[in-house]
């Protein structure tokens, strides 16, 4: 086959098969990512038939990595991470440590060296953000507090993996790899120090200069009103910064692209940048997963079934149990713990990136890559099942386990109002569920009109701060009648549900109606069908986001138009 068309053959075969298998996976209610990986297996060197050009596929995968990391940086929100930092930061670090140790233990038992075992363990410790976001969207809990915990947890994992990708090359020689550091007489501490200095210089340059230059550049291009130029500017910035970071600072393409996204987020056009670059990012991300699938040798399932099973158990059971225990240790509800556990019961893109880097440095053996890919395929394919089991498992545990019931009913000073709470907060008050962006504005309006209210919030840090500010607040999930009881819903006059947790809204209404049949309820919603169903109930007012925005804009337009008339 003529070399000049290898690129076309590789892209055509990769995207075509990814479409077919991705469609089949979706029809089977599996993540499309499973189909992309299987497409790579089909055109890989370990299966009969057409074999794609591995070299070209690797370069396409590198572009896919850059655009994936650019997307991660573009959506990285420090505010969202800080909101759940008390659980996400220590929880992610401890869970990663546990999973890494389990992976290192397995690999050492199999006779691997320390470097390969460490890379293997780290690859098992980090879950796929792509898979998680799709799962949370399907469940409708992406904007809920539990969803924010899960996302914050994975953001910490992603940041930790970025650091690992930076430090692994200079440490490869000491870990038994084939990096340049291994052939040099330079002490490892000097190599490591130089690497950190280079990374620090790059990060400082991006945060000081990049945060001003690139948003300004986006603004200038946006003024041309050319959609093509805007898209070109976004993609060119992502790829150019990634390349420059590697050429000038010795930083990986992945880290450069990540910070390109971070500084681009500072622009007022960040949302548009994400939307315009999304098709290209998706296309190259698919090629990345296809190229990863090409590295998978299916014979590992037959030759090493027990090792594959051990890997899957570490991913699905080891990580999940550790995460569940940590969330419960931080005194969060059982439902939150189970959701976070299901979120982490898979591995994905960062595992593949780390495995490829470990292989190129001579650290991770080829069978390690195949084992990781087998674990990824099985864990991603089974992940929807674990999410579907959360509700029945929680119900079963409550019915059959006194320990589980004890977890929900354990004494907590934040779960009930203090004894010295003023009487005006206990009768004819407003019960406000959720203290996010919407809840804070409602609370400010109530304070301005001197209307007493009690906040019910799942974020412990927020409840602690509200208590410190002298406001009445209880911690817990308002779908639990016990939380509404502590908010004195029986004597309240209005229940305001300002949280975006669409799944539990009906439970909250039913619990409130049981305790206070005549209570008025005001709800926020972004789903027209859901809003239509909720408004059919008595004493329920639904504020639909888009509708309220349109009405506010219409009032402003009419007022100005009539004033000039």
Residue 140 lies in a domain: yes
Give the three-class secondary structure for 527.
coil
Same domain flag for 330 and 446: no
Q: 376 with 461, same domain? A: no
Per-residue model confidence (pLDDT) at position 142:
64
For residue 183, pLDDT over 50 is answered with no
The answer on 482 and 378 residing in a single domain is: no
Domain limits for position 432: 413-564
Query: Does residue 315 share a domain with residue 216?
Result: yes
pLDDT higher than 90, residue 103 = yes
Indicate which CATH number applies to the domain containing 150.
Answer: 1.20.1530.20
Contact 340, 146 (CB under 8 A): yes
**CA 79, 80, 86, 88 torsion-angle sign:** negative
DSSP output for 415-438: GS--TT--GGGSSS-EEEE--SHH
For 412-441, what is each residue's pLDDT tens digit? 677 778 888 888 888 889 999 988 888 899
CB 66 within 8 A of CB 239: yes
Average pLDDT in the chain: 81
The whole-number pLDDT of residue 100 equals: 93
Q: Based on the domain organization, do 505 and 544 belong to the same domain?
A: yes
342, 420: one domain: no
Q: Where among 362, 393, 424 does a domain terminate?
A: 393
Tokens of 250: 């010795």
Section 247-269 average pLDDT: 73
Is the entire prediction scored with pTM above 0.85? no
Give the pLDDT confidence score for residue 181 in this predicted structure: 41
Q: If pLDDT is split at 50, 70 and 90, which confidence band does 1 have?
A: very low
User: pLDDT band at residue 525, thresholds of 50, 70 and 90?
Assistant: confident
CATH number at residue 494: 3.40.50.720
Is 31 in contact with 346 (CB distance < 8 Å)? no
The confidence score (pLDDT) of residue 146 equals 77
Total structural domains within the chain: 2
Q: For residues 377 and 324, state if they share a domain.
A: yes
Torsion of CA 118, 181, 60, 133, to 10 degrees: 40
Q: pLDDT tens, 251-260?
A: 667 677 777 7
Q: Are residues 275 and 343 in the same domain?
A: yes
Whether residue 495 lies inside any domain: the answer is yes
Residue 400 covered by a domain: no
Give the domain-ending residue among 334, 362, 393. Answer: 393
Last residue of a domain, one of 338, 360, 393: 393
In a domain, 405, yes or no: no
């Amino acid at each position: 086959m003529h070399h000049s068309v290898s690129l076309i053959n590789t892209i055509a075969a990769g995207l075509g098969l990814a479409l077919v298998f991705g469609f089949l996976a979706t029809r089977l209610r599996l993540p499309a990512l499973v189909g992309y990986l299987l497409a790579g297996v089909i055109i890989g060197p370990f299966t009969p038939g057409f074999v794609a050009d591995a070299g070209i596929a690797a370069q396409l995968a590198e572009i896919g990595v850059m655009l994936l990391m650019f997307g991660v940086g573009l959506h990285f929100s420090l505010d969202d991470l800080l909101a759940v930092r008390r659980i996400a930061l220590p929880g992610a670090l401890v869970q990663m440590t546990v999973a890494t140790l389990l992976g290192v233990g397995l690999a050492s038992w199999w006779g691997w060296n320390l470097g390969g075992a460490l890379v293997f363990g780290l690859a098992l410790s980090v879950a796929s953000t792509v898979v998680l976001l799709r799962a949370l969207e399907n469940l409708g809990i992406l904007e809920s507090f539990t969803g924010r915990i899960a996302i914050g947890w994975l953001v910490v994992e992603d940041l930790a993996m970025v650091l690992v990708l930076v430090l692994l090359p200079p440490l490869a020689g000491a870990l038994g790899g084939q990096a340049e550091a291994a052939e040099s007489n330079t002490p490892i501490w000097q190599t490591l120090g130089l690497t950190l200095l280079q990374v620090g210089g790059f990060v400082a340059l991006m945060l000081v200069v990049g945060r001003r230059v690139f948003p300004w550049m986006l603004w200038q291009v946006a003024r041309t009103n050319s959609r093509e130029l805007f898209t070109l500017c976004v993609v060119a910035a992502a790829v150019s910064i990634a390349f420059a970071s590697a050429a000038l600072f010795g930083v990986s393409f992945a880290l450069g692209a990540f910070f390109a996204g971070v500084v681009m987020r500072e622009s007022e056009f960040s949302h548009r940048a994400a939307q315009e670059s999304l098709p290209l990012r998706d296309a190259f991300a698919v090629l990345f997963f296809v190229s990863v699938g090409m590295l998978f040798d299916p014979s590992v399932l037959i030759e090493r079934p027990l090792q594959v099973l051990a890997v899957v158990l570490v991913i699905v059971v080891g990580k999940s149990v550790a995460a569940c225990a940590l969330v419960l240790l931080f005194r969060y509800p059982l439902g939150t713990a189970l959701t976070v556990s299901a979120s982490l019961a898979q591995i994905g893109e960062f595992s593949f990136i780390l495995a490829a880097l470990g292989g190129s440095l001579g650290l991770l053996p080829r069978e390690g890559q195949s084992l990781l890919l087998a674990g990824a395929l099985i864990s991603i394919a089974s992940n929807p099942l674990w999410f579907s089991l959360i509700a029945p498992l929680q119900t079963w545990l409550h019915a059959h386990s006194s320990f589980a019931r004890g977890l929900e009913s354990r004494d907590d000073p934040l779960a009930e109002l203090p004894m010295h709470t003023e009487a005006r907060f206990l009768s004819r008050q407003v019960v406000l569920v959720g203290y996010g962006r919407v809840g804070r504005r409602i609370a400010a309006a109530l304070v301005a009109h001197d209307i007493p209210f009690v906040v019910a919030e799942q974020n412990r840090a927020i409840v602690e701060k509200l208590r410190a500010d002298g406001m009445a607040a209880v911690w817990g999930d308002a779908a639990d009648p016990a939380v509404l009881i502590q908010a004195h819903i029986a004597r309240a006059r209005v229940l305001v549900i300002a949280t975006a947790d669409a799944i539990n809204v009906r439970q909250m209404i039913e619990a409130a109606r049981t305790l206070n049949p005549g209570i008025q309820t005001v709800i926020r919603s972004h789903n027209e069908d859901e809003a239509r169903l909720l408004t059919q109930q008595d004493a329920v007012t639904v504020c639909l986001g888009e509708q309220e925005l349109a009405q506010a804009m219409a009032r402003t337009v009419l007022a100005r138009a009539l004033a000039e008339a």
